[in-house]
């Protein structure tokens, strides 16, 4: 298993076609992601990063190319997604939301209960188990969303800007909590963000995307030891260099799309 | 006291003022029906309104107790409520099922929506002669008439409710591997419930309108029959008893459904 990548993507292309008009959202994306790697996809808005994630999540079908997720067992789902802020089902309570994936797989009740309880505690929401999403703050909602994905125990985790709608303090806290759960579960993660700080803090690798058509423009390793602290990233010279590189790329992209 | 620095006292006074205003509003909603009855009583007693056509509320109350004591009223209410309930269920349940299917599956929606749009504008009451021919003058025809008028608002609202479900919830269900049955029961049903209950509210109101008219035309019992025969026999007090009963049940059903709404939609 060691040699094979967890996710291998080959020549993945998606074209949106509408009445003689076609746009290429992503073009010939090829990339390998190793088992247990935390990878952030960073790019300007409209660069097709969400499209790429949605294809891997099975919510969209690619126009060409293929991708493969290595399975370690039959009963595990291949992937689970943490959606943007509105991803909780409003008619289910916190615990029902966390149990959603497990219930959709029709697993034994006692197992579902045990798992739900475990992750409910893990994200510190035991007291809120019977509440509905409308009663929760944005940060709590995303905790539930993360718990739901981890409880489902998938081969890989997909996250589509899960902290995009949070205020800065909450974002830091959630990032830290995510890393703590992640380091315990050792999942392979593909995480979309447009915050460079977030990418540098969370990931082992940043895939920088360019837009129209979406391609991978750079593949940057983040070799900072874990556990990391936010202040380390701000002061680390290599990270400052990485930040500048990503920042310049994004600026060029935005400039380019204006012309 | 004036100019004294006491923020708590200020807020306390403000809070009391708000409470009083709230009480006054509640008072008004109780007061307005009483005022109506009072004005009616005075107009009728004083002869300003013709007491033959507008008997005073007190006289209507007496008629109510007479009818009640003879047991006649109870049997009318019983049969009408049975018809409403049976017709309501017969219309609402298929309406919910077809509405969910139409919302979830585009082919079903495209097949049925022109049919529904074409049939809906025809008042069920206008079809009463045909219903009577098909189902006879027994209970079935009344139940079917009500079912027909309840069905349409429920089916249309349920389908609209499913279509109103945010696409992200469908993505969530798909991503977490929901099968067809789970989609139906865990996503479409709860997601469309707010709209569906609105449709049921409308259906309830229409059911009451329909039952009275249906009982006027082809029945030997029921509140509508009571109203119609009392009118024909110029027993206007009894007729008003029937009218007030309809108004009472309409109000009662609305309250019950609103309670049900709160019970079924704790997440709203």
A67-85 tens-digit pLDDT: 999 998 888 999 999 998 8
Q: Is the dihedral of CA A88, A94, A99, A103 positive or negative?
A: negative
Q: Is A86 in the B-facing interface, judged by CB distances under 8 Å? A: yes
Inter-chain touch B166–A91, beta carbons under 8 Å: no
Inter-chain touch B176–A152, beta carbons under 8 Å: yes
Phi, psi of A2, rounded to the nearest 5 degrees: -65, -40
Q: Is A150 in the B-facing interface, judged by CB distances under 8 Å? A: no
* Minimal CA separation from A58 to chain B, in Å: 7
Instruction: Dump the DSSP string for chain B.
Output: -TT---HHHHHHHHHHHHHHHHHHHHHHHHHHHHHHHHHHHHHHHHTSS-TTTS--HHHHHHHHHHHHHTTHHHHHHHHHHHHHHHHHHHHHHHHHHHHHHHHH-HHHHHHHHHHHHHHTTS-GGGGHHHHHHHH-SSHHHHHHHHHHHHHHHHHHHHHHHHHTS-HHHHHHHHHTT--HHHIIIIIIHHHHHHHHHHHHHHHHHHHHHHHHHHHHHS-SSSHHHHHHHHHHTT-HHHHHHHHHHHHHHHHHHHHHHHHHHHHH-TT-
pLDDT at A259 over 70: no
Q: Please give the structure tokens belonging to residue A206.
A: 């940043």
The CB density around residue A237, as the number of other CB atoms within 10 Å, is 7
Task: Give contacts of B265 with chain A, Cβ < 8 Å.
Answer: 91
Torsion, Cα of A126, A129, A132, A138 (10° steps): 20
Taking only the tens place, the pLDDT of each residue in B211-245 is: 888 888 778 899 999 999 999 999 999 999 999 99
3-class SS of residue A48: coil
The nearest alpha carbon in chain A to B167 belongs to A87
Q: Is A77 in the B-facing interface, judged by CB distances under 8 Å? A: yes
| Residue B144: CA count within 13 A, CB half-sphere | 16
For chain A, give every domain's residue range.
7-78+155-258, 86-153
Q: Is A164 in the B-facing interface, judged by CB distances under 8 Å? A: no
- To 5 degrees, how large is the angle CA A91–CA A94–CA A96? 70
Task: Give contacts of A83 with chain B, Cβ < 8 Å.
Answer: 168, 171-172
What was the pLDDT predicted at B151?
Answer: 95
ipTM of the complex: 0.92
Burial degree of A181 (CB within 10 A; 0-12, 13-18, 19+): middle
Instruction: Dump the DSSP string for B35-58.
Output: HHHHHHHHHHHHTSS-TTTS--HH
Inter-chain touch A104–B179, beta carbons under 8 Å: yes
- To 5 degrees, how large is the angle CA B28–CA B34–CA B37? 145
Among the partner-chain residues A59, A81, A134, the one whose CB lies closest to the CB of B267 is: A134
Q: Is A154 in the B-facing interface, judged by CB distances under 8 Å? A: no
pLDDT at B94 over 60: yes
Question: What topology does CATH give the domain A7-78+155-258?
Answer: Rossmann fold (3.40.50)
What was the pLDDT predicted at B2?
Answer: 55
Residues in chain B: 268
Write down the mean pLDDT value for chain A: 91
Task: Give contacts of B190 with chain A, Cβ < 8 Å.
Answer: 89, 91
Q: Please give the structure tokens belonging to residue B168.
A: 């992200």
Torsion, Cα of A185, A191, A194, A200 (10° steps): 50
Does the pTM surpass 0.80? The reply is yes
The nearest alpha carbon in chain B to A145 belongs to B172
Q: Is B174 in the A-facing interface, judged by CB distances under 8 Å? A: yes
Q: By percentage, how much of chain B surpasses pLDDT 70?
A: 99
d(CA B126, CA A23): 55
pLDDT at A1 over 50: no
Among the partner-chain residues B166, B176, B178, the one whose CB lies closest to the CB of A80 is: B176
Among the partner-chain residues B179, B187, B267, the one whose CB lies closest to the CB of A132 is: B267
Inter-chain touch B166–A57, beta carbons under 8 Å: no
Q: What is the DSSP letter of A137?
A: -
B182 Cβ neighbours under 8 A, 6+ residues apart: A104, B173
Inter-chain touch B176–A89, beta carbons under 8 Å: no
In chain A the beta strands, taken as DSSP E runs, fall at: 7-18, 21-33, 38-42, 64-69, 79-82, 156-160, 188-193, 205-210, 215-221
Q: Please give the structure tokens belonging to residue B170.
A: 């469908």
What was the pLDDT predicted at A213?
Answer: 85
Taking only the tens place, the pLDDT of each residue in A109-134 is: 999 999 999 999 999 999 999 999 99
* Minimal CA separation from A69 to chain B, in Å: 15
């Amino acid at each position: 298993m060691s040699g094979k990548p967890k996710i291998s993507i080959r020549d993945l292309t998606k074209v949106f076609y509408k009445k003689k008009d076609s746009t290429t959202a992503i073009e010939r994306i090829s990339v390998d992601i190793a088992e247990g790697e935390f990878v952030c996809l960073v790019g300007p808005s409209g660069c097709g990063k969400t499209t790429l994630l949605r294809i891997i999540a099975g919510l969209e079908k690619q126009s060409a190319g293929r991708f493969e997720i290595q399975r370690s067992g039959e009963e595990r789902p291949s992937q689970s997604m943490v959606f943007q802020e509105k991803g909780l089902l409003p008619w289910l309570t916190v615990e029902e939301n966390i149990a959603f994936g497990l219930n959709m797989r029709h697993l034994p009740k006692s197992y579902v209960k045990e798992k739900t309880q475990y992750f409910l505690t893990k994200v510190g929401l035991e007291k809120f188990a019977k509440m509905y999403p409308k009663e929760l703050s944005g940060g709590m909602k995303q905790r539930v969303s993360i718990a739901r994905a981890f409880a489902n125990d998938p081969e890989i985790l997909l996250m589509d800007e899960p902290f995009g709608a949070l205020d800065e303090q909450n974002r830091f806290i959630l990032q830290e909590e995510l890393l703590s759960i992640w380091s315990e579960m050792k999942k392979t993660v593909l995480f979309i963000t447009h915050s460079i700080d977030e990418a540098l803090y969370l990931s082992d690798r940043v895939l920088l995307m360019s837009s129209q058509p979406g391609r991978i423009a750079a593949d940057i390793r983040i070799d900072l030891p874990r556990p990391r602290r936010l202040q380390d990233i701000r002061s680390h010279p290599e990270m400052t260099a990485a930040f500048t590189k990503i920042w310049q790329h994004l600026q060029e992209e935005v400039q380019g799309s204006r012309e | 006291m004036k100019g004294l620095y006491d923020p708590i006292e200020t807020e306390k006074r403000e809070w009391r003022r708000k409470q009083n205003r709230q009480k006054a509003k509640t008072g008004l909603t109780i007061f307005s029906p009483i005022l109506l009855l009072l004005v009616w009583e005075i107009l009728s007693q004083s002869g300003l309104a013709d007491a033959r056509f507008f008997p005073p509320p007190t006289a209507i109350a007496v008629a109510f107790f007479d009818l009640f004591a003879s047991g006649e009223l109870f049997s009318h209410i019983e049969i009408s409520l049975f018809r409403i309930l049976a017709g309501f269920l017969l219309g609402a349940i298929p309406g919910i099922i077809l509405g969910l299917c139409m919302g979830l599956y585009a082919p079903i929606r495209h097949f049925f929506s022109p049919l529904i749009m074409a049939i809906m504008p025809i008042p069920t009451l206008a079809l009463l002669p045909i219903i009577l021919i098909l189902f006879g003058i027994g209970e079935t025809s009344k139940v079917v008439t009500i079912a027909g008028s309840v069905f349409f608002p429920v089916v249309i609202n349920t389908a609209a409710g499913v279509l109103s479900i945010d696409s992200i919830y469908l993505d969530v269900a798909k991503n977490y591997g929901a099968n067809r049955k789970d989609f139906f029961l865990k996503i479409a049903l709860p997601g469309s419930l707010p709209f569906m209950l609105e449709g049921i509210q409308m259906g309830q109101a229409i059911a009451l309108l329909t039952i009275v008219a249906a009982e006027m035309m082809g029945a030997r019992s029921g509140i509508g029959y009571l109203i119609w025969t009392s009118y024909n026999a110029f027993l206007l007090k009894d007729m008003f008893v029937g009218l007030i009963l309809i108004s009472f049940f309409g109000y009662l059903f609305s309250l019950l459904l609103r309670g049900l709404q709160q019970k079924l939609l704790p997440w709203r």
